Amino acid sequence: MIEIIEPGLWTTVQDLGRLGNYHLGVPPSGAADKFSFMAGNLLIGNPVDFAGLEMTLFGGRMVFHKNTVIALTGAPMEALINGRPMEFWRAAEVREGDVLTLNACWEGVKAFLCVSGGIDVPEVLGSRSTYELSKIGGFKGRKLEKGDKVSMNEPLPGVFKQAGKSVPQEFIPGFSRSQEIRVTMGIKGHMISDQGLKAFLNSEWTVLPESNRVAYRYTGAKVSFIEEEPPFGAGSSFTNVVDFAYPIGGIMFPNEEELIVLQNDATTGGGFVTIGTVISQDLDLIAQSRPLSTCRFTAITLDQAIEVRRERKEKLARLEELLKR
């Protein structure tokens, strides 16, 4: 098992998420930066969906009570094993009694600890991911606390040969404070004026501190809505949106001066004007965006979005092949 000595800011058990329950009001949850998470699993010979730990800004301190092989990926925290530096993106053998310390990261937000065989917690609706708002999945449905003892599955056969292997530099993502986020336009975009659309695409947006796993909030330009005639002659002109189902990655405007991008723990529906959807690959970039970092949104076609997805799938396949050698 892994015993938590100091829990860090916000550490939860995650896998790739629980799919197929969004219509029931249950979001997918799962690793916020999926590429980093999957690369960590591949590095130690796990299937990409084995559960690991997701850590936010700093990871605290934990002791291993089993010999195994681990990998750290994602936002680069200062990592120490028994006081000695440990590299991110490199598989490492740990022995019973070894203490892993994870101090603050200097860029990015989310780091991941993958262990051979995966974290052993019960599945809920087909996933081990934590959805803290409803207290389901993960370790008792919550973030980890001091004194928690998290079970690990037995290491996979032959995994100790993975120790020392590393992810090639070309596969390691950057964690810039300025990002270009690709979106497919649509949904309720017709509720935004032409001037508003131009402002959305031509402006720089800043991440606000209250951003989290439910949604990232941004401020930037003023994005004006269209005006419609009110029903029954009452009141002044207004914009109205009937409640509908939100997609993960949906870009919503609660008002004309802020926007919200829904993340893996998002609410499943509502009535905000929704201009489009961030492509799934770039949700990783958003999850690694620190408060007060900036981005610009770029419109792409659905065909282009599908091509980006194909390219990432092929990239992961190449990485898996390299790590098997």
Per-residue pLDDT of the chain (325 residues; tens, 9 = 90+): 999 999 999 999 999 999 988 888 899 999 999 999 999 999 999 999 999 999 999 999 999 999 999 999 999 999 999 999 999 999 999 999 999 999 999 899 999 999 999 999 999 999 999 999 999 999 999 999 999 999 999 999 989 998 999 999 999 998 989 999 999 998 766 778 888 889 999 999 999 999 999 999 999 888 888 765 555 454 444 455 667 778 899 999 888 889 999 999 998 887 788 889 999 999 999 999 999 999 999 999 999 999 999 999 999 999 999 998 8
Residue 138, both tokens: 């993960």
CA 273 to chain centre: 24
Are 279 and 300 within 8 A, CB to CB?
Answer: yes
Per-residue model confidence (pLDDT) at position 227: 66
**The model scores a pTM over 0.85:** yes
For residue 299, count other CB atoms closer than 10 A to its CB.
Answer: 16
The DSSP secondary structure of 207-231, one letter per residue, reads: E-TT--SSEEEEE-S--PBP-BPPG
Task: Provide the 8-state DSSP code for 190.
Answer: G
| Residue type for position 31 | A
Angle at which helix 302-324 crosses helix 280-287, to 10 degrees, equals 70
